[in-house]
Amino acid sequence: MADIVIDRVVKEFGSFRALQEISLTVNDGEFVALLGPSGCGKTTLLRIIAGLEAQTSGRVVIGGRDVSDLAPRKRGLAMVFQNYAVFPHMTVFENVAFGLRMQKAPQAEVKRRVERAASLLHIESYLDRYPAKLSGGQRQRVAVARALAVEPAVLLMDEPLSNLDALLRLEMRTELKAVLREAGTTTIYVTHDQTEAMGLADRIAVMYGGKIDQIGSPLDIYATPATRFVGSFIGSPPMNFIKVRCSQGTARIGDAALPCPSAGTEMELGLRGEDAILSPSGSGIPFDVRVVEPMGSHLLLTGSIDGQLARIVAPPTAKVNAGQRVSLDVDPTRVTWIDSTTGRVVARD
């Protein structure tokens, strides 16, 4: 039973501020993904939670205990490293047993828990092999089994799937989710891969430039991004941003008029590619199609709205040709409005 409270954590490397007053609460048993581009500080934050890096200021509280100044071994957590860090001079069994041995668990207990963790990750058949004889995917399983064998209150994972090929990654992602759900461990998972974060996490914290831009469930973050960055980082294709002028609560694009918040005049319209529907009437927002890419499950249309780049997802059966001008129907409630100057989303009136 352990929740994690990160309280105004700051990390400075010399004059560079890698983390600016990060606060985040992870509930007991929750799976939170730290998602962001490289260099956004997500790994630094994870290492501070693990105790591998010292914060400049702020506190880390795990299960009600302030662990800010404790060594990693006293924090009661386990970690899966990006390059697995499976010890090459020990057999798989000894690797998985490592944490238990350090806790001086009795031999029978060690054996029982190693076998349990091994069966959970399907590595029973090579417990007596050395890691050099294993493939990347198998090593990754060993690293996860080693972390689960100690039955940690908190599990930290640093891009554990990034070194696997695409197919294996998909397979491991599914398995990881099932295994962690069963174990009920509080998990923080660092990744730059949005599909991993969306698929695995209960909540996602999107990080950018040493700050958390938004925390929320995958669907919330997808549907209602808090900043321009979140909208552009999440989703494939990313959200479209169209600069428009607002006056008296209406924005005009071509013939179409959309109600917009009265907060400012220079606004950006954030539009998900699949929230626009090809209009049969021809009265919507004009869209000049430049490229049509059939993706199987859908058509990806690249073109421009009011001279600005946009990507729209259309049904696979739609009859659209490159060079054609189509018109789009947009549901005003599914549109995001962003203040051009701050990059933050503006609430609707």
Partner 1 sequence: MTTGAAELSQTSTSRGVALPSARRLLLWTGLAVLIAWVLVPIYLVALGAFGGRLGVFRWPKTIWPTDLSFAAMSQFLAIEGVFNALVNSLIAAGLTVVFSIALGAPAGYALARYTFRGQNAYRLLVLLTRAFPLAILALPLTVSFIRLGLYDTPFGVSLIHTVLALPFAALVTQSLFMGIPREYEEAAWVFGCTRFQAFMKVVLPLALPGLAATAIFAFVISWNEVFAASILTVRERTLTAYLLRILAESPLHYRFAGGFILIIPSVLFIFAVRRYLFAVWGIASK
Footprint of partner 1 on this chain (CB under 8 A)? Answer: 50-52, 71-73, 77-79, 81-83, 85, 87-89, 98-99, 102-103, 146, 150
Residue 236, judged by CB atoms within 10 A of its CB (0-12, 13-18, 19+), counts as exposed
Identify whether the C-beta of residue 284 lies closer than 8 Å to the C-beta of residue 231. no
Of the two residues 152 and 286, which places its CB atom closer to partner 1 in the complex?
152
Of the two residues 98 and 241, which places its CB atom closer to partner 1 in the complex?
98
- Give me the least distance between CB of 157 and partner 1, in Å please: 12
Of the two residues 85 and 168, which places its CB atom closer to partner 1 in the complex?
85
Structure tokens that stand for 258 in this block: 């959309």
- Give me the least distance between CB of 25 and partner 1, in Å please: 22
Of the two residues 102 and 257, which places its CB atom closer to partner 1 in the complex?
102
Structure tokens that stand for 209 in this block: 């430039």
- Give me the least distance between CB of 123 and partner 1, in Å please: 17
Structure tokens that stand for 21 in this block: 């007053």
Structure tokens that stand for 229 in this block: 């960055």
- Give me the least distance between CB of 287 and partner 1, in Å please: 49
Of the two residues 150 and 328, which places its CB atom closer to partner 1 in the complex?
150
Distance CA 145, CA 175 (A): 12
Distance CA 99, CA 77 (A): 10
285 conformational bin, left if phi > 0, alpha if psi -120 to 50, beta if neither: beta
Name the strands in the sheet holding 186-191, side by side, starting at the edge strand that comes first in the sequence.
77-80, 154-158, 186-191, 31-35, 203-208, 211-216
Distance CA 211, CA 334 (A): 26
- Give me the least distance between CB of 143 and partner 1, in Å please: 8
- Give me the least distance between CB of 269 and partner 1, in Å please: 45
Radius of gyration of the chain (CA): 24
Identify whether the C-beta of residue 8 lies closer than 8 Å to the C-beta of residue 21. yes
The kind and range of the H/E element at 98 are helix 92-102
Of the two residues 70 and 256, which places its CB atom closer to partner 1 in the complex?
70
Of the two residues 79 and 271, which places its CB atom closer to partner 1 in the complex?
79
Distance CA 296, CA 299 (A): 7
- Give me the least distance between CB of 77 and partner 1, in Å please: 7
In three-state secondary structure terms, 158 is strand
